[in-house]
Chains A and B, each alone.
Chain A
Amino acid sequence: MYDPTVARLTYRALLGRRRALILGALPLLLIAISVVVRALAGADDQTASDLLGGLALATMVPIIGVIAGTGAIGPEIDDGSVVYLLSKPLKRPTIIFTKLIVAIAVTMVFSALPTLVAGFILNGNGQQIAVAYTVAALVSSIAYAALFLLLGTVSRHAVVFGLVYALVWEALFGSLVPGARTLSVQQWSLAVAHKVAGGDLVTSDVGLTTATVLLIAVTVLATWYAGQKLRSLTLAGEE
């Protein structure tokens, strides 16, 4: 299921100079803001929760997910170099699964890790807030990577669609329309975080069971479908 060569190629493409800069910028911003907030306002659980929920989980994780998920396959399909993977006796689902693992790992490293660091800076993991949001970031990394990998496989405008989903649906629409929140990776991961933190600082609109089922279903379905799409991917050439 996992091919180390596909993984190596994907890592190197993803962590190439320009993309690595973009991937690194957001986490650095989060940590910088955390340092400033801590210095100005001191350690405060509510502030920590607001910042980790609003900036880290609602904005940074999905954006990193978009870059890693779509970037794991989109550019290869766009420029045609995916032909070197497809012209091998390699099961298409193996290619997708391997790229998913890489996308998940990259998203986790660039989003969950900085979330943990920021959490410790903000309030020293008081009330388990840093750990709770880190778990949420880890969980949502998996679902985002799968969703955006699928998007990268089916659409040439994956980054735009991904950002629209991440920023408009998750951040804006979700805060205005209550129903939209049920269909939000962020809310599902918050349900898991709520379980970790306990108390009322971390809350979700979705129950833990529903959230877990939806997280798993979205990840599995998106990955399966991406594998199917890759099996019949058409390289129309330039004619």
Chain B
Amino acid sequence: MTTLSIDHVSRWFGNVVAVNDITMTIGPGVTGLLGPNGAGKSTLINMMGGFLAPSTGTVTLDGQQVWRNESIYKHIGIVPEREAMYDFLTGREFVVANAELHGLGAKAAQKALATVEMEYAQDRKISTYSKGMRQRVKMASALVHDPSLLLLDEPFNGMDPRQRMQLMDLLRRMGDEGRTVLFSSHILEEVEQLAWHIEVVVAGRHAASGDFRKIRRLMTDRPHRYLVRSSDDRALAAALIADPSTSGIEVDLAEGALRVQAVDFGRFTALLPRVARDHGIRLLTVSPSDESLESVFSYLVAA
């Protein structure tokens, strides 16, 4: 059982507060650290990994201080976001070097390469690897010493869907084995597919924490706004407002469109095409106007 504790941690750079008084406990299983770009996720992960000192507060792994404590890395595996990784080595040489730095040998390296299914390309130079291959070799280097805590910073960035699925399977397996796995992401769907537990960070603050379903419900239950253009906006507006899933409609004359606010996301998305068909109205545009992650998050923070 490995538990990472973040206790009232803040970090500022000059006048900019990147992480603001965050307290969270990461236990075994897969935890997703979710937040929009620039929310402070990387800063937080860097502090968890001992590469950045908290301005205030402490980060401990099973009671042991992480900052300035090299021996902690016997238990931590790190997959950094940055690409650079001794490109002049082959994948195998890189993972073997990582194993040796842990006092292990080529056997451990080979096992890690097999775990990430990179044996087929292990003798190629890293400089020739695709993004997904790099990510997997990084993963192998982090797994080589069988760590109980795995920290991954935006591990799915730039991966194609197949590579993404493979890595998700691997992380899921790691979590099932009882390891503590924490990964950061700014993509809701990634976190939804993988994490058992999520921590949401917005603008350096801890916005939400807990079971994914609960937070997802908070996200989907919020009012959704849509911009709709049709062959007969007023007739469509009249038909939609009759249903309780719609809480407000504005006819935007300048845009030549309807601005619809829906309260029941699921029901509204089923209603709109049916109503249009029944009234012989052609839908020209249906676009969510506040689907950006920031608006989802700001809603969460307010909730």
Contacts and interface: CB of A to CB of B under 8 A. Distances in A.
A91 B100 CA distance: 14
Contact of A88 (B43, B68, B102): B102
A237 B42 contact: yes
B40 interface: yes
Interface in A215-239: 231-239
Contacts, number: 91
A236 B101 contact: no
Contacts of A239: 18, 38, 40, 42-43
Interface string B134-149: 0000000100000000
B78 A83 contact: yes
A101 B266 CA distance: 66
A89 interface: yes
Contact of B82 (A80, A86, A87): A80
Contact of A85 (B40, B89, B101, B153): B101
Most buried by B among A5, A89, A234: A89
A81 B70 contact: no
B43 A87 contact: no
A236 B102 contact: no
B101 A237 contact: no
A89 B102 contact: yes
Contacts of B85: 81, 84
A93 B38 CA distance: 34
A92 B153 CA distance: 24
Contacts of B46: 234-237
Most buried by B among A84, A92, A234: A84
Interface residues of A, number: 31
Contacts of B71: 89
Contact of A87 (B68, B76, B86, B103): B76
Contacts of B263: none
A84 B77 CA distance: 10
A15 to B, nearest CB: 10
A87 B74 CA distance: 9
Contacts of B68: 231-232
B49 interface: yes
B81 interface: yes
Contact of A237 (B72, B82, B86, B88): B82
A200 interface: no
29 contacts: A3-B101, A12-B86, A12-B88, A79-B84, A80-B84, A83-B78, A84-B86, A84-B98, A84-B141, A87-B77, A87-B78, A88-B98, A88-B101, A89-B73, A89-B74, A90-B70, A90-B73, A91-B70, A92-B70, A232-B53, A234-B51, A235-B52, A236-B13, A237-B43, A237-B46, A237-B82, A237-B153, A238-B42, A239-B18
Q: Which 3 A-B pairs have the closest CB atoms?
A: A79-B84, A80-B82, A237-B42
Interface of B: 13, 18, 38, 40, 42-43, 45-46, 49-53, 68, 70-74, 76-78, 80-82, 84-86, 88-89, 97-98, 100-103, 141, 153
Given A5-B101, A89-B74, 18 more contacts: A3-B101, A5-B97, A8-B97, A12-B88, A16-B88, A80-B80, A80-B82, A84-B85, A88-B102, A89-B102, A89-B103, A232-B68, A234-B46, A235-B52, A237-B43, A238-B42, A238-B81, A239-B38
